[in-house]
Chains A and B, each alone.
Chain A
Amino acid sequence: MRAAGLKHSVYVQIAGVVLTAPAILLLSLVVVLPFITAAWWSLSPEPGSGPTLAGYRWLLDPAFFDAFKHSLTIGVFSVLLELVIAIPAAILLNQAIPGRGFCRAALMLPWAVPTIAVAAAFLWLANTNYGLFNQLGLGLGLLNAPIAFLGSPALALPSVIVAHAWKGLPLVFVIILSALQSLPPELMEAARVDGAGRIAQFTHVILPHLKPSIALAAVLSGIYNFSLFDITFLLTGGGPAGETTTLPLLLYTQEFKALDTGRAAVVGVSIFAAGLMALAALAWSSFTRESRRT
């Protein structure tokens, strides 16, 4: 039995396969096989009939379109909100200030808070009669009457977006903070020597350096929020009047309420395809940026 020195021997081949086999087996059984099954279901609307794309005609249905619109809105606006908070926060916490480590860790905390607690927090804060938002608004005279944040068709989606942004903030924050840490200090010093003020430093040095990371964070977090089920499910269940029914919720209702497995599978494959396209767009844009530089 040897590990050292036998790089290309049979032993290493066997060891490599044996050591990774359990991981591959589990992933095949729990992720890949179910995914292939879902893809197959989306192609066979009726048991026994051959594979057909007919099921995908349903993509033109208003119900699907609305759900897509809601998912996309959540994906885009939650990411914008995350970026607006994460970029200044990361710049601030990249300075040498006391308590920096604590603040960095604390901004990562939402990742660890269970979704059920996130939902409870926002349900309670946004409660129509007793929630803090309404109490503050009424108490400070900003509101005349309490607002049903999660119950009104106009405000339900924005409220859901805020909850998604809160839960997704750590991912964006950590990507941007690490990009800032990789910014060579000499670059900032050179800019200062060249006479750049704080705003010029930000627009001409920091922002261009951050651009690829912002794109990466936006796409990753956007895909994640686009395809997330549980926050919306727990906060509104898709209501009011379907105003927050996202694609994952549509899949859930098709599966468990309408008992239409084929349609549910069509929705599932669409969610995956949309994510894949966003990733491809990211890869393409970073590829063209690279080639423009050389």
Chain B
Amino acid sequence: MGTGLREVPGSGAGRTITAAAARRRRSRLLAILALVMTLAILFPFLWIVLSSFRDPQNFLTLDLRDALPRSLDLSSYRLALGRTDLFNWVANSLLVAASTTVLSLLVSAPAAFALSRLEFRGKSAVQWFSMISYAVPSIIIVVPLFLILVKLGLNNSFAGLILVHATFTIPFSTWVLRDFYQSIPRDLEEAGYVDGAGLLQVLRHIVLPLSIPGLLAAGAYAFILSWNDFLFALVIMDEAAAYTAPVGVHAYFTGRFLGESTWAQLMAASSIVSLPSVLLFGFFQRYLVSGFLSSGVKG
């Protein structure tokens, strides 16, 4: 800029500083706005967690000042775990979700590898098949599926539920992993072959270590989906002892008179049931979000 001669010395620099300050102020203002908005949207969930720390004896109060817990009171949790079978249900859910995760990855990872690396006949048919399966709403198939499980002797069994949960994760997990494998340069695998590794060694030493983020995303997705499922667990599991956490909580509180301590228990139980999914999401959200983008979310 050739305007230096006409300018009062220093005024240019001064203007830049105020502009930068204004920009900083604006971005700080927007950040506060974003934070307020985020908290407002998260509020229903935060409200359960806050309520779970209230004093269960004075849970139902018409005084707004009592709406926030005065201290971290864990009595609601003690009640929830003591009066219900929640421990047992959570253990069931852990078993089901962990097994679902393993089975889902065992099935999805090889399929995804084939779809990303091999040119075989029927490849597009496989992709179409899994896309169409993904589009079928759960409610339509739950009853015939139950009858099929009965024929296989898998109704009211964890194995049956795990099979169903794992299958529902396959289309999404396969897409996420296929995209991931495609982001690994083929040169690396070829370098491995030239270096003297066979297919299995290339998979073990090169492909597997590089696909860990993808496996974490697909695994977290499978775990959360299985953990959160309500409909299939409700229909497939008959016995109270074999309920998963969401179904157990539902069964315990349905039809019960909701008095003070029951509400408190419900809040504590809901917080406990949410904890694994929310934590897992917190850890792996970066990987999960990129997966959502490539295929859309289905809860």
Interface residues of A (CB under 8 A from B): 1-4, 7-8, 12-13, 15-17, 19-20, 22-24, 26-27, 29-35, 37-38, 41, 85, 89, 92-93, 95-100, 102-118, 120-122, 124-125, 129-130, 132, 135-136, 138-139, 166-167, 169-171, 174-175, 178, 220, 224, 227-230, 234, 248, 251-252, 255, 261, 264, 268-269, 271-272, 275-276, 279
Contacts and interface: CB of A to CB of B under 8 A. Distances in A.
A138 B285 CA distance: 39
Interface stretch (B12-20, B70-78, B105-113, B210-218): B105-113
A26 B170 contact: yes
B45 A113 contact: yes
Contact of B44 (A116, A125, A129, A175): A125
Contacts of B22: none
Contact of B270 (A116, A227, A268): A116
Contacts of A279: 135
B159 interface: no
Interface in B221-244: 224, 227-228, 230-231
A19 B114 contact: yes
Contacts of A129: 60
Nearest to A118: B44
Contacts of A248: 137, 139
B230 A120 contact: no
Contact of B299 (A22, A111, A268): A111
Contacts of A228: 137
Contact of B148 (A34, A121, A178): A34
Contact of B274 (A114, A135, A175): A114
- Per DSSP, chain A at the interface is helix
A161 B245 CA distance: 25
B35 interface: yes
Contacts of B144: 33-35, 37-38, 41
Contacts of B171: 27
Given A103-B38, A117-B48, 14 more contacts: A1-B199, A35-B141, A35-B144, A103-B34, A108-B285, A111-B281, A114-B227, A114-B273, A116-B230, A116-B249, A135-B62, A167-B299, A174-B289, A248-B139
A22 B246 contact: no
A121 B106 CA distance: 36
Determine the interface band of chain B, counting residues with CB < 8 A from chain A.
Answer: 35 or more
B31 interface: yes
Nearest to B62: A135
Nearest to B126: A20
A127 to B, nearest CB: 8
Contacts of A29: 148, 167
Contact of A136 (B64, B277, B293): B64
B38 A107 contact: yes
Contacts of B137: 227-228, 248, 271-272, 275
11 contacts: A1-B199, A16-B121, A20-B110, A22-B107, A30-B167, A34-B141, A92-B34, A93-B34, A98-B28, A178-B293, A229-B139
A274 to B, nearest CB: 10
B31 A97 contact: yes
Given A27-B133, A121-B48, A230-B230, A97 B246 contact: no
B193 interface: yes
Contact of B193 (A4, A27, A125, A276): A4
B230 A275 contact: no
Nearest to A248: B139
Contact of A170 (B33, B62, B270, B297): B297
Interface of B: 27-28, 30-31, 33-35, 37-38, 41-42, 44-45, 47-48, 51, 60-62, 64, 67, 106-108, 110-111, 113-115, 117-123, 126, 129-130, 132-133, 135-145, 147-148, 163-164, 166-168, 170-171, 174, 189-190, 193, 198-200, 202, 224, 227-228, 230-231, 245-246, 249-250, 263, 266-267, 269-271, 273-274, 277-278, 280-282, 285-286, 288-289, 292-293, 296-299
Contacts of B224: 112
Contacts of B115: 20
Contacts of A174: 289, 292-293, 297
B45 A7 contact: no
A269 B293 contact: no
B61 A130 contact: yes
A121 B44 contact: yes
A226 B143 CA distance: 19
Contacts of B289: 104-105, 108, 174
Contacts of A269: 140
